[in-house]
Copies of this chain bind each other. A is one copy, B any other.
Amino acid sequence: MSASTLRAEHCRPLKGPEHRLDDAALGELLALLPGWSLREDGRAIGRNFRFDGFLPALSFASAIGWMAEQENHHPDLELGWGYVRVRYATHDVGGLSRNDFICAAKVDALADAAG
**What 1/0 mask marks residues of chain A from 73 to 88 whose CB sits below 8 Å from any chain B CB?**
0111111110000000
Chain A's interface size range is: 10 to 19
Given A58-B65, A61-B61, A78 contacting B81 (CB threshold 8 A): no
Interface assignment of A18: CB less than 8 Å from any CB of chain B: no
Chain B minimum-CB-distance residue to A69:
B55
**A49 interfacial contact with B, CB 8 Å:** no
Q: Are B74 and A54 in contact (CB under 8 A)?
A: yes
A-side residues, CB < 8 A to B, are 54-55, 58, 61-62, 65, 68-69, 74-81
Can you name 24 A-B residue pairings with CB atoms under 8 Å?
A54-B65, A54-B68, A54-B69, A54-B74, A55-B65, A55-B69, A58-B61, A58-B62, A58-B65, A61-B61, A61-B79, A62-B62, A74-B80, A74-B81, A75-B80, A76-B78, A76-B79, A76-B80, A77-B77, A77-B78, A77-B79, A77-B80, A78-B78, A79-B79
